[in-house]
Structure 1
Amino acid sequence: MDTFLAILGDEIGDAYEGQRLQSVYHEPVHHELEANLGMVDPVATSIELSIAGRDFLITQSPGLLHSKQKHGTTGAAVWRTSVKVAEWLASPKNVFFTHGIIDGDSNVLELGAGTSGIIASTLAPSVGHVVATDQQHMLKLLRANLDENAKGPLAKGKSHERRKVLKDTQRTPVVTTLALDWEEDDVTKHLGSHGLGSGVDLVLACDCIYNYALIAPFVQTCADVCGLRSSSIEIATNDRPPTVCLIAQQLRQSDVFEQWLEMFLRSFRVWRIPDDMYSEGLREGKGFALHIGVLR
């Protein structure tokens, strides 16, 4: 863990990084993202994507996206941040794998997974178990998309025999879904009652910070998830490293970003992932920022 944190460079000391990132926010390329607020296509009922040699068919719900439900509906669409992060995580050269933060036995939990399942589907073949969480009304379509894209990383164009050999030698990715409401649930008890009382190796969230009202419950949920490992007698006895928290976001409003970062810094030590560790689509000037947090 120390080696991993060292390569990230200087730890962030205050929330004013948001002012520096304003230059990223105003890059011309960002206007392309703003066209649909960062959604790939908000009106399509299905979207085809190719990520790391795998073809994905994602069903969306424009009706749910534009409904006036009391609960959040933004997860009903595919967001560019999730696509870019999925491409980055799919690389065997990704810093999380090369520095042993996660491996084939790791447990990963995604917050605000939405309905696409892109992150979980992409990451699952490379780790032990992915838990994709969101509010209850998102889970039906999330499960459907996970099932649709659970065929594993078999590239098209292979012969039938070659595909069968690949299929037989690959383990089945393990992805489960779990309802989790940041504002309503007692996160520690809820996750503990679903077999996650010993914590996870990585908790991640993509484009979940866009609303002032959600910042406090979101940060508290991140802290509660990471706190499971530090408070677990079983894990402490085995000297397991702390949970790493990855927050990826498209930069929209600097004041929202600064408020999130200020609150996040109260509970976490924080680093911004350096540009040379990103895939091309996430580098500075593209309108995205990825941060690492380790519970204080």
Structure 2
Amino acid sequence: MKLENLLRQLGEQIESAEEETYDLFSQDLPSQQGLGFINSKAPTLDLTIADRDLTIHQSPGILSSNRAGGTTGAVVWKVSPIFAEWLTTAGNPLFSHGVLSPRSAVVELGCGISPVVGLLLAPRISQYVLTDQPYVARLVEQNIAENDGHQVVLQHKATANKRSANKGRTGGASSKGSGSGSKGGGATGTNNSGQIRFTPLDWETDDVSSALTRDLSGSSFDAVLACDCIYNEALVEAFVSACVDICRLREAELAAYASSSKDDAKSEESGSSDLLEPSICLIAQHLRTSDVFETWMDCFLRSFHVWRIPDTLVLPGLRSGSGFVVHLGVLRGGAVVGYRAPS
């Protein structure tokens, strides 16, 4: 399988959150990175990423406000352009192994006002869905429209069901990816190859449902991405739960295929089983505090098999000592067609 080939190249799985935290934070990390904003005071940023010029509008005013539910999604974070460039670099292992392809659908959690990763990746895939709090929708819409070259269409549809009371989450701390509602506009742009759109999603109060995939050709995603969403212990569990729920959409689709293929020998003959593999969860982050990182890694390891992307497979800006890191997760214990995660 394509995914298995990639995982072999990644090397050993991470088994201990404590050991991974020690390995990363014992590195000689840069001391002048601050909180991780590119420029939190500028209303616009002119960025050149992988030879593509982008102008991104952000909101220093919202960032410095006392808005309930968080404000950190109002500006662009340093890891996003580096991560976007790596994903679109020739020879990126996700594409060279076929884990991502022109048919792929990808969802990003906690995009903030910046569709940078989506704008760079969408031309190489089929569909890209950005998610975050509804308050970032206007600037995401503007940034997609001005950089994608197409008119953005608003879609006023609910995209997630509210969590039931027994699944609700509490916590007053805010995060770039946490939201405050499940209804709002979805911004959609069409680039040369793929579609990119924004959909509100609240990690704490919304259930991930098939509504998230309403415009996809299938009913699940090939990859879940997140950039610098992990710096608040209070929302770690909600973030990981969202990752799990989205990856389970693929498991449900795989299970449905397995069931139907028993009654339809032609499905296997046609090779359609090769179209779907387990969803991957790809997390890029700034190494700020060891306690928060270890809390996340411990929670993530409970639900995912986890690998750190090695230095040999990433750009210099994501390698050891850079202050940034990328991890890949594959859901544990799922009923997946033809797949068994390496032990």
Deviations 1:201-222 (A, max 9, x none): 0110000000011100000000
Inter-partner Cα distance in structure 2 for 1:145 and 1:195: 22
Match of 2:252 in 1: 231
Inter-partner Cα distance in structure 2 for 1:180 and 1:196: 20
Are 1:265 and 2:301 counterparts? yes
Inter-partner Cα distance in structure 2 for 1:171 and 1:59: 22
Q: How does 1:38-49 map to 2 (within 5 A)?
A: 38-49=36-47
Are 1:22 and 2:25 counterparts? yes
| Contact kept? 2:124, 2:193, Cα under 8 Å | no
Inter-partner Cα distance in structure 2 for 1:274 and 1:73: 32
Equivalent AA in structure 2 for residue 129 of structure 1:
Q
Q: Using the TM superposition, name which of 219-228 and 196-205 deviates more.
A: 196-205
RMSD value, Cα:
1.7
Query: Structure 1 residues 235 and 207 mapped into 2: Cα distance closer, same or farther (>3 Å)?
Result: farther
Q: Using the TM superposition, name which of 71-80 and 194-203 deviates more.
A: 194-203
Equivalent AA in structure 2 for residue 200 of structure 1:
F
Which of 69, 72, 85 is the matching residue for 2:67?
69
Q: Using the TM superposition, name which of 119-128 and 234-243 deviates more.
A: 234-243
Match of 2:11 in 1: 9
Match of 1:218 in 2: 239
Tell me by how many angstroms 1:151 deviates. Answer: 3.5
Query: Structure 1 residues 100 and 18 mapped into 2: Cα distance closer, same or farther (>3 Å)?
Result: same
Deviations 1:246-292 (A, max 9, x none): 01100001011001000001100000000010111111110011100
Inter-partner Cα distance in structure 1 for 2:120 and 2:129: 13
Tell me by how many angstroms 1:194 deviates. Answer: 6.3
Runs of 4+ in 1 over 6 A off after TM superposition: none
Are 1:281 and 2:284 counterparts? no
| Contact kept? 2:130, 2:198, Cα under 8 Å | yes
Equivalent AA in structure 1 for residue 281 of structure 2:
C
| Contact kept? 2:126, 2:193, Cα under 8 Å | no
* TM-score using structure 2 length: 0.77
* TM-score using structure 1 length: 0.88
Inter-partner Cα distance in structure 1 for 2:9 and 2:121: 23
Q: How does 1:194-205 map to 2 (within 5 A)?
A: 198-205=219-226
| Contact kept? 2:210, 2:219, Cα under 8 Å | no
| Contact kept? 1:188, 1:197, Cα under 8 Å | no
| Contact kept? 1:198, 1:235, Cα under 8 Å | no
Inter-partner Cα distance in structure 2 for 1:172 and 1:7: 29
The SS at the match of 1:6 is: helix
The SS at the match of 2:329 is: strand
Tell me by how many angstroms 1:187 deviates. Answer: 1.1
| Contact kept? 2:105, 2:216, Cα under 8 Å | no
Instruction: Point out where structure 2 has 5 or more consecutive residues left out of the alignment.
Output: 151-190, 262-271, 333-343
